[in-house]
Every structure is written in structure tokens, then in C-alpha cells.
Amino acid sequence: MVTGDRCDRNTGVNRRSFVASAGAAAGLLIAAPSLVKGYQANEKLALGLIGCGGRGNWIAKLFQDTGKYQWVACADYYPDRANATGDQLKIDAARRYSGLSGYKQLLDGQLDAVVIETPPYFHPEQAAAAVAAGKHVFLAKPIAVDVPGCLSIAESGKQATENKLVFLVDFQTRANELYREAVRRVHAGDIGKLVLGEAHYPWSGGSRGPAPASVEEQPGNWYHVLALSGDFVVEQAIHSLDVASWIANAEPVRAWGTGGRSLRAENTIWDHFAVNFEYPDGFIISFTAIQTIPGVKDEIRCRVFGADGVIDTDYFGDGWIRGQKPYEGGNTGALYTTGAVTNIVEFHQFVATGQYANETAAASARSNLLAVMARKAGYSQGEITWRQLLACTERLEPNLKGLRA
């Protein structure tokens, strides 16, 4: 068991207490009604970007290209990155913030919504602060690196709904109509009782290291820092687990697994996991993930067999249902971009039309908990139950000593 990622296995927390636990975990402030305003369908939303790294800049352009948004502020730990992004997005120099607390200054300013693209460790705190400040939230996956963080995000989504704010988590597959229709049909019973699922994430990429040489490098080279990324099973392979969780539409009873670090350098994250999840009624999901293998075909795939058919989804290929009630489906296309664009367009639509159900918050919390569960089962080379998982109160804490506030 890795230090800082363990649970008390003698606990009374159960699956039904997930929502209640989420509420207890965050303790967020409720935004004052005066902080929330109405919008017109053709009105541009004033945005603040928190996190000016590679993906932050990539998605900022996608927001800009829709013509429905205007960037007015940005924040990043590194001043040079905040300034470079500010130049690119034509943000006033006075509204470019840096340091670990730069996002707080951003939230104090006039803007409608924030886009959070920072290392996952920071997501719960930043999302909670944004909701408390009365801002709509567009949040990158994964939402957190540990159980308390997942529960905090679930609570932030609930608080956003209560405060008439939009809270959207950017999973591209959940924005794809082919995926949506296929999963809808499974939930309607088209493949019958679920029997066995396969969720796989083989990946040629994912650097083998090394970990950051200094604390100052961590905010920009965070992937290999467990407490900042949650390990690749949380930061990357969650794509496969999210689809599996979406199809299963339930929490597992228990998980058992293994894995290791055979290819990556010491003092960094693992490079492979193999975990089985057992659901009520005996449904099993077999999950495997591996990175840094040259020549491997990259896949984000989930296949589930039911008593009356099978659903097969491939992030880079086709999605369909075969069996008694077939669905032809089709090719998912350039999902990484098209899914993000759909989420961006729907985010504006939800704000303009006052749709505050914020269903992606709870769904993403469940998927993220599944990924944390996989990590814990792998690290312990053993078994963990859902009850034990939800009782985990320990937080992964990176070494941030010496970083600029």
C-alpha cells in the first residue's frame, strides 16, 4: 500500500450514503443571489481561464471559435504562461494572475464563468471557490485525485444547482450522440441483464519519466506526481472507466486488482493496472490499462455483454449494439475535439436557458471514484469494497513548500 493512499477498512459508510457523504465533505458557502444573473441566448459569456498549460490554451481557442464567449481573465502558477495566454486571448494585463492563489484574484473580478484546466489535485478547491463566488463552472476531467476530492466535486455540483449555476464536467464521450443513444438503449434493456464488461486503455504514449527535478517544476510537469495527477489510471484511463460506469449505471460492490511500475522510473506513477469490479447481481467489469508501449494501438474501449446482446464503444472507432435489438451506430469521428466542442456549446446553452440539473457532476464523481478504487486495489494488490472506499478520508497532498502563493 502506498503511503497517503490508504483507507480504514472497518467502517460503516455504505453505498447509499454517497450523496450524503458528498454533502458532508465539502462544507461550501452558498452563493448570494445577487451574484447570479440571467443571460440572453445570443449574449457572450465573460470567461476566466484557470490553468494556462497546453490543454488550457487548446480549449481556450475552441471556446473562442464558437463566438459565444469572451475571455476577460486568466490565471496560472507561472507568470510567463499567464502572460503568453493573455497575449493570445487579448486579455488586459491587469487581469492576468499568477501564483497558487492567482485563481482567487480571478474569481474576485467581473466574469460569468470559469474554465478550470489545472492539475487535478487543485480541481475540488478551485471549483468550490468558483461556485461560492457565483460563477458557472466548466471543469476538465478528472475532477479529483482522491475520495474527499470526488465528494467535494459532487457537492459543488449540488450547490451549483441550488444557486442556479451551470456546472459541467468535460468528458467528450458523454457529449457524443452515438454514445448517448447506445447507452440509452442499454439502459432501456436492449441487451438484457448485464453479464460481463471489458474496459481497456492500452496507450503508446505517456512519458516514462523522470519525475520533476524540483518543487518549482511540479505545477508544469505534474503528471508524474501522484498527488497532483492521481496516477495515470485516474488522469487518463478514467476515459474507459467513465464509459463503463455510465453503462453500468450503478456503483460496484467491490474491486480487486494488481499492477505495477515496470517501465517508468522510480518515484513516479505506475504504468499498468489490471482490476476487476463486481456489481450487484453478479455483473463483472474487467479493466486493464497500460502506457508507454511503443507500437501499441491506442484504445479507449468499453464492451459490455448482456443476456440479449452486446454494446461495443471505441473512442477512436465505431460504436454499436448487436443482438436481439441491434443498433447500427457508426464512427465516433474526431471525438477528442468534437466532444469538447459539443460540451462548450451546450455549456452556453445551459446558461442561457437556465438548465441547472448539472448531471455530469454526480456522474463524474462516480466515475472518478471508480478510478480511485482501481488505484487503491492495484496499489494494495488486493480487494477494496465500495463501503470502504467511501470511508477513505485521507487526502493525497503534494509537496508545495516554497511555491509562490
Residues 180 and 298 in one domain: yes
Domain end point (choices 172, 189, 204): 172
Residues 75 and 97 in one domain: yes
Short-list 172, 168, 101, 162, CA closest to 138: 168
Provide the residue range defining the domain that includes 103: 22-172
Residues 334 and 213 in one domain: yes
pTM (predicted TM-score): 0.92
Is residue 330 pLDDT above 90, yes or no?
yes
Residues 308 and 331 in one domain: yes
* Cα gap 255→382, rounded to integer Å: 8
Residue listed under C-alpha cell 463486481: 278
In a domain, 124, yes or no: yes
In a domain, 376, yes or no: yes
Is residue 197 pLDDT above 70, yes or no?
yes
The confidence score (pLDDT) of residue 8 equals 56
Residues 158 and 281 in one domain: no
Q: In 10 A of CB 307, how many CB atoms?
A: 12
The confidence score (pLDDT) of residue 109 equals 97
Do residues 185 and 327 make contact, with C-beta atoms less than 8 angstroms apart? yes
In a domain, 7, yes or no: no
Domain end point (choices 150, 172, 194): 172
Please compute the mean of the pLDDT values over residues 255-281 and round it to a whole number.
94
In a domain, 15, yes or no: no
Please compute the mean of the pLDDT values over residues 154-172 and round it to a whole number.
98
Do residues 171 and 141 make contact, with C-beta atoms less than 8 angstroms apart? yes
The widest CA-to-CA distance across the chain, in whole angstroms, is: 62
> What is the pLDDT of the chain when averaged over all its residues?
92
Return the H-helix or E-strand segment holding 55.
helix 54-65
Least reliable range by pLDDT among 1-5, 116-120, 122-126, 360-364: 1-5
In a domain, 16, yes or no: no
In a domain, 103, yes or no: yes
Residues 146 and 218 in one domain: no
Give the CATH number, domain containing residue 214.
3.30.360.10
In a domain, 352, yes or no: no
For the four alpha carbons of 211, 216, 220 and 223, in that order, the dihedral sign comes to positive
The confidence score (pLDDT) of residue 18 equals 54
The helix-helix angle for 335-353 and 54-65 (nearest 10°) equals 60
In a domain, 331, yes or no: yes
In the numeric block, which cell numbers belong to residue 175?
Answer: 457529449
Domain count for the chain: 2
Short-list 315, 359, 320, 362, CA closest to 337: 315
DSSP for 271-330, written as a single string: SEEEEEEE-GGG-EEEEEEE---TTPPP--EEEEEETTEEEEEETTSEEEEEESS-EEEE
Return the H-helix or E-strand segment holding 23.
helix 18-26
* Cα gap 112→133, rounded to integer Å: 10
The confidence score (pLDDT) of residue 38 equals 64
> pLDDT digit string (tens) for 340-386?
999 999 999 999 999 999 999 999 999 999 999 999 999 999 999 99
Short-list 363, 346, 340, 362, CA closest to 136: 346
Short-list 118, 124, 130, 122, CA closest to 149: 124
Residues 145 and 272 in one domain: no
Do residues 6 and 372 make contact, with C-beta atoms less than 8 angstroms apart? no
pLDDT band at 43, cuts 50/70/90?
confident
Domain end point (choices 153, 172, 191): 172
Q: Under 8 Å CB-to-CB from 189, ≥6 apart: which residues?
A: none
Residues 180 and 325 in one domain: yes
Residues 196 and 288 in one domain: yes
The confidence score (pLDDT) of residue 365 equals 98
Q: Are strands 167-170 and 96-98 parallel, antiparallel or unpaired?
A: unpaired
Residue listed under C-alpha cell 432501456: 188
Give the CATH number, domain containing residue 97.
3.40.50.720
Short-list 397, 376, 256, 399, CA closest to 8: 376
DSSP bridge pairs for 46: 70
The confidence score (pLDDT) of residue 366 equals 98
Do residues 372 and 185 make contact, with C-beta atoms less than 8 angstroms apart? no
pLDDT band at 206, cuts 50/70/90?
confident
Residue listed under C-alpha cell 474527499: 148
The confidence score (pLDDT) of residue 346 equals 98
Residues 44 and 76 in one domain: yes
Residues 181 and 166 in one domain: no
Residues 258 and 158 in one domain: no
